[in-house]
Amino acid sequence: MASSRACAYGSAPVTGPEHFAEAARNMEAFARRNAGRPELEDVLDTWQSLGGLSGDEGTTRAARGILPAYLAGYWDHQERYAPLLGDAGTFISGLDDRAALSSIKTPALVIAGRHDVICGPRWASEPAAGIPGAELVMLEHSGHLGHVEEPGVFTRAVTSFALTTAG
C-alpha cells in the first residue's frame, strides 16, 4: 500500500485582498530590482490591468505580459524562456484555506521561489508552518517558475522528499 504525500509549489493558502497586497509589495520590489529596463513599464502596465481581466484572450495577453515578473532572471535569459510565452495563466480570487492546514496529516513539501511575486516566501511559510511536520524548500534564484529556473534544485528537492517519505 502506497503512503500519501503532498507537495505544494508556487501556491498560497489564501487569495483576495491580503494576497493581492503582498503581491503588490513584491511587484514594487521587482520594479526596484529592474529599474531602468525599458520593458519594465509594459510589465507594470499589465500588472495594473489584472483586475479588469475578462475572457481567455485577455487572460492570455496578461499572462504573457506579466511573465518577466514571474521569473527571477527573465531578462537575463529571454531566449530560454521564450517558449513559456505560449502558456496562459489563471487568476483565482477569494480563497482562504489557512484554517484547514493543521488538519493535513500527510507528509508535505512546500516549494517556493525567493523572488516569486505572487506566491513567494510569505505564502510558502504559512503552509510550511501550518501543516504538521511540513518541509519548506526555498529556491533562492527563482520566481514563480522555479522548476524552469532551477530545475536541478527543484528536482532534487521533490525526489528527496518522495524517497524519504515513501514506504
**pTM for the predicted model, two decimal places:** 0.68
Count of the separate structural domains present in the chain: 2
pLDDT at res. 86 = 66
Q: Which of 42, 57, 86 is the last residue of a domain?
A: 86
Output the nine-digit C-alpha cell for 68: 518577466
Q: pLDDT, tens digit, for every residue of 93-129?
A: 556 889 999 999 999 999 999 999 989 999 999 999 9
Domain carrying residue 137: 6-13+97-165
- The CATH number of the domain where 154 resides is what? 3.40.50.1820
Which pLDDT does position 28 carry in this prediction?
Answer: 96
Spell out the residues 6+ positions from residue 157 whose beta carbon is closer than 8 angstroms to its own.
109, 111, 137
Sequence letter at residue 60 = T
Please report, to the nearest 10 degrees, the dihedral formed by the alpha carbons of residues 8, 10, 15, 16 taken in order: 170
| Residue 154, domain member (yes or no) | yes
Taking 50 as the pLDDT cut, the residues of the chain under it are: 1, 88-92
